[in-house]
Amino acid sequence: MLWLDYVSSNSIITSRKSIVGKVIKFPKTRDRVGRKYRQEEIDRINDLLRLCDEDMQTVLEQIDQLQVELSALTAEYEALLKRLKELTDIEGGMHDK
């Protein structure tokens, strides 16, 4: 009569008549369905890469917009600085008289 005796999580003794017994190695759960887990991980990584790509694109668009705004602010700053110089030159000229 054959019987199964649980020895460890990865092997069982399959013969009661044999002194040594046959040891059958069972694959670990991750090995048995490894392809499934790998495919799930591949899908998950692809999703994360897509999200990163979308975020990077958004940041680049924001940088472009900030550059436009910075250019406009720089032009306004220079115009205000020019006007301030004109006014201080006029004030300085009035003090000389």
Which tens digits make up the pLDDT trace of 36-76?
Answer: 888 899 999 999 999 999 999 999 999 999 999 999 999 99
Any residues with CB less than 8 A from the CB of 28 and at least 6 apart, and which? 10
Query: What is the overall mean pLDDT for the chain?
Result: 78
CA distances from 75 to 61, 68, 90 (A): 22, 11, 23
At 31, the pLDDT band (50, 70, 90 cuts) reads low
Exposure string of 76-95, with b = 16+ CB inside 10 Å and e = fewer, is: eeeeeeeeeeeeeeeeeeee
Q: What pLDDT does residue 12 have? A: 45
Q: Which residue has the higher pLDDT, 40 or 26?
A: 40
0.85 exceeded by pTM: no
What pLDDT does residue 20 have? 52
pLDDT of residue 70: 98
H/E stretch holding 2 reads none
Which pLDDT value is given to residue 44? 94
